[in-house]
Amino acid sequence: MEIQDSTIPDISKRQIDILDPIKFGFSRTFKNAGFWIPFALLNMVIMLIGFGISFYQLFSSFQETMLIEDSAPSIPISTIFVYIITIIIIAVLGVMTSRQSIRDVSSVKTDNTTIIEGQTPAGWSTLGKDIAWGKIIATGVLVGLIAGLLGGGLGGVLGLIVPSVDSGESVNAGLILIFSLLTIMVYIAIFAISLLIGYAPYFATDPETNTHLSPIDCIKSSYEVVKDNFWKVLGFNIILAIITSILVILTAGIGMLIMIPMSSLAQAYMFRSLAGLYVPVQE
């Protein structure tokens, strides 16, 4: 699978630093705090309200069911409706967040503050602009299908093995060990594939790439740019996850106001670095 030169520039000479995206994420979050902090707060409020209502209704329904003898638990239709609506809104905000992050990465100079002439940084006035909804949705669906089919297929194979292990027929320590190793390998394979195609939605979101790529091309492009930098991308995501976990735990969740935009900006920076596009660093 090759990417056309006109779409993805040569990145063979670009050094991918796993800390640069994180540094940029923190820096730009605070330098554009007038947009990013309130926008992160909006995301948090919607999640708290939507999921709060859903789980409250579900908990209330289960409590009522427990008081009725021989009554089976049921999920209220209203709970399902609120949950689905919340997921849709969060998904829409997620796309907007990615687009705004790409906008910020591509619009500032190396001081992460000065705006490049002709570019527009992330802000409320640009929140819903220049978003290729159709291509982004199609790419996201394809990524989900690939991950789902992979997980389902490998999970099905394991499902055929589990009964024989549980039945105790001809079971020995060697068979249990093989099954355990196979299970671990399956999860590693699913994670690796998810990482390889994880930047496909970014290719579908960034105007510098989405005009040249179909949803399938976005997936191929993600695979191509990640495979040669797989361990760096893995390390970057691990460090990002550790920082996020520590900050959120130490601040009792308030740190999400910083980590929501910081993580998105860092991912957008990493994507553009991998794709050979402009990022605000000294070459």
Alpha-carbon distance of 36 to 43, in angstroms, equals: 11
Q: Mark the ranges of the chain whose per-residue pLDDT is less than 50.
A: 1-9, 11-12
User: For residue 151, what pLDDT is reported?
Assistant: 62
Alpha-carbon distance of 19 to 114, in angstroms, equals: 21
Closest CA to 32 of 98, 88, 107, 85: 107
Alpha-carbon distance of 215 to 233, in angstroms, equals: 22
DSSP string of 224-277, one letter each residue: HHHHTTHHHHHHHHHHHHHHHHHHHHHTTTTTHHHHHHHHHHHHHHHHHHHTT-
User: For residue 208, what pLDDT is reported?
Assistant: 93
User: For residue 3, what pLDDT is reported?
Assistant: 45
Closest CA to 219 of 147, 270, 107, 143: 143
pTM, entire model: 0.82
